[in-house]
C-alpha cells in the first residue's frame, strides 16, 4: 500500500518533497512523536490539491502541520500523510500598510517584516512559535492582543477544493478558535492590515514582550507553549499551582516550575509521558477546584 502511495505522490512531487517513515519528533516543538508514513512538503496550491485528491481517492488519512507547535503526536506515529507548510510555503510581501503572508510563514518572521516596514500591530506575535496557518486556525494571541485585531482576510482551500477568501468578520474568530477550526478548511495565506508606526518604538515593544517571555516562561525546554486554554474567570497556571502540581512529573515530562501553565519535555520524554502529565493535571485540578482544563494543544495518533 505504501509503495503505491509513494509512486503516486512521486507523480507530482519530487523525491526531496517526500519523506518516508519520518519521525514526527523532528517536526514538533515538543520534540516527541513517532513516524508518519509520509511527510510531504508541497510548494504550490496545485501540489497541495494533488496530495489531497490522492488521499481522498486512496482513503488515506492526512493532517496539516506548520511548525508543529500546539501539537502532540503519538509515539506510534501517524498512519497516513502529514502535509507540512513551513519554509516551502512561506512568502511574505508588504504593500503599503498591509502584509500578505503564506500559511507556512512563521509569525516571528512576519513580525520582523512588519518591523522592517515600520508597521505596528504585530508586536505581540513576535514570540509565538507558530505559523500563519496555525495562528489563523486558533486565533493566536498574547499580551492582550490576538490575530483577529490585525487580520483583514484569509484565503483558504475548502474541503471541496475550492478557493475562498474570508473577511475577518467571516472568520468567526473567538478565543483560540475560528471558523477554520470548525470546518477544517486549509489556510493558504492571510492579509494583515497594520498601521504606520515608529520603528524604534515597535522594536522596543517586541524586545519588551520577548524579555517578559524569557523571564516567565520555560523557553529553554521543548514544549507547545501554554498547554491549556484559559478557563473563564480563572488562570490555568494558577489553578495548577494551587493543586500542588508545580514540578509534577511522569517520565521525562513535567509541569514547569517556572510557569505551571506549561508542560515541558524536561529530557527524553515520550509523547505518552506528556499525555499522561496533561491528563494527570486535568484530573487533579478538577478534584481541587472543580474546573475543567481544556488542552490548547491537538493530539494526533493513538494514545
pLDDT digits (tens, 9 = 90+) for 162-211: 999 999 999 999 988 999 988 889 999 999 999 999 999 999 999 999 99
Please answer whether residues 88 and 43 qualify as being in contact, where contact means their C-beta atoms are separated by less than 8 angstroms: yes
**CA 130, 286, 269 angle in degrees (round to 5)?**
45
**Is residue 183, in this structure, part of any structural domain at all?**
yes
Is residue 10 part of the annotated active site? The answer reads: no
Q: Quote the pLDDT of residue 127.
A: 87
User: In the predicted model, is pLDDT for residue 43 greater than 90?
Assistant: yes
Same-domain check for residues 159 and 246: no
Is residue 176 part of the annotated active site? The answer reads: yes
Same-domain check for residues 164 and 251: no
3-state SS assignment for residue 248 = coil
pLDDT band at 1 (very low <50, low <70, confident <90, very high): low
**Is residue 262, in this structure, part of any structural domain at all?**
yes
Same-domain check for residues 193 and 111: yes
Is residue 226 part of the annotated active site? The answer reads: yes
CB contact burial 184-217 (16+ within 10 A = b; e otherwise): ebbbbbbbbebeebeeeebeebbeebeeebeeeb
Q: Quote the pLDDT of residue 142.
A: 86
User: In the predicted model, is pLDDT for residue 93 greater than 80?
Assistant: yes
**Is residue 37, in this structure, part of any structural domain at all?**
yes
pLDDT band at 250 (very low <50, low <70, confident <90, very high): very high
**Is residue 50, in this structure, part of any structural domain at all?**
yes
Rounded Cα distance, 226 and 262, in Å: 5
**Is residue 302, in this structure, part of any structural domain at all?**
no
**Is residue 16, in this structure, part of any structural domain at all?**
yes
Query: Which range marks the domain in which residue 47 is found?
Result: 2-87
**Is residue 298, in this structure, part of any structural domain at all?**
no
Strand partners, 247: none
As for how many domains the chain has, the answer is 3
Same-domain check for residues 259 and 287: yes
Catalytic one among 176, 178, 189, 256?
A: 176
Rounded Cα distance, 210 and 202, in Å: 12
Please answer whether residues 90 and 109 qualify as being in contact, where contact means their C-beta atoms are separated by less than 8 angstroms: yes
Q: Which of 87, 122, 157 delimits the end of a domain?
A: 87
Catalytic one among 90, 103, 178, 226?
A: 226
Q: Which of 164, 163, 165, 156 is nearest to 186 (CA)?
A: 156
**Is residue 109, in this structure, part of any structural domain at all?**
yes
Q: Which of 55, 87, 119 delimits the end of a domain?
A: 87
Same-domain check for residues 210 and 98: yes
Please answer whether residues 293 and 249 qualify as being in contact, where contact means their C-beta atoms are separated by less than 8 angstroms: no
Amino acid at each position: 500500500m505504501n509503495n503505491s502511495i509513494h509512486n503516486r505522490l512521486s507523480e507530482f512531487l519530487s523525491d526531496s518533497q517526500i519523506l518516508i517513515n519520518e519521525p514526527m519528533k523532528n517536526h514538533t516543538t515538543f520534540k516527541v512523536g513517532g513516524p508518519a508514513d509520509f511527510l510531504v512538503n508541497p510548494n504550490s496550491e496545485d501540489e497541495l490539491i494533488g496530495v489531497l485528491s490522492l488521499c481522498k481517492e486512496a482513503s488515506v488519512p492526512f493532517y496539516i502541520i506548520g511548525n508543529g507547535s500546539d501539537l502532540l503526536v503519538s509515539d506510534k506515529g501517524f498512519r497516513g500523510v502529514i502535509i507540512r507548510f513551513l519554509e516551502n510555503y512561506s512568502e511574505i510581501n508588504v504593500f503599503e500598510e498591509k502584509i500578505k503572508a503564506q500559511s507556512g510563514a512563521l509569525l516571528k518572521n512576519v513580525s520582523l517584516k512588519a518591523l522592517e516596514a515600520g508597521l505596528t500591530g504585530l508586536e505581540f506575535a513576535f514570540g509565538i512559535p507558530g505559523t500563519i496557518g496555525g495562528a489563523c486556525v486558533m486565533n493566536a494571541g498574547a499580551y492582550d492582543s490576538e490575530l483577529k485585531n490585525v487580520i483583514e482576510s484569509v484565503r483558504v482551500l475548502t474541503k471541496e477544493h475550492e478557493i475562498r477568501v474570508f473577511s475577518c468578520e467571516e472568520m468567526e474568530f473567538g478565543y483560540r478558535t475560528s471558523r477554520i477550526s470548525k470546518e477544517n478548511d486549509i489556510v493558504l495565506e492571510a492579509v494583515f492590515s497594520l498601521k504606520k508606526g515608529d520603528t524604534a518604538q515597535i522594536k522596543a515593544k517586541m524586545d519588551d514582550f520577548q524579555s517578559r517571555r524569557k523571564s516567565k516562561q520555560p523557553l529553554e525546554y521543548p514544549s507547545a507553549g501554554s498547554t491549556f486554554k484559559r478557563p473563564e474567570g480563572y488562570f490555568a497556571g494558577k489553578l495548577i499551582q494551587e493543586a500542588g502540581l508545580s514540578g509534577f512529573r511522569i517520565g521525562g515530562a513535567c509541569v514547569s516550575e517556572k510557569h505551571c501553565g506549561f508542560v515541558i519535555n524536561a529530557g527524553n520524554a515520550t509523547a505518552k509521558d506528556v499525555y499522561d502529565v496533561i491528563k494527570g493535571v486535568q484530573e487533579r485540578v478538577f478534584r481541587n477546584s472543580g474546573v475543567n482544563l481544556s488542552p490548547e494543544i491537538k493530539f494526533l495518533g493513538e494514545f
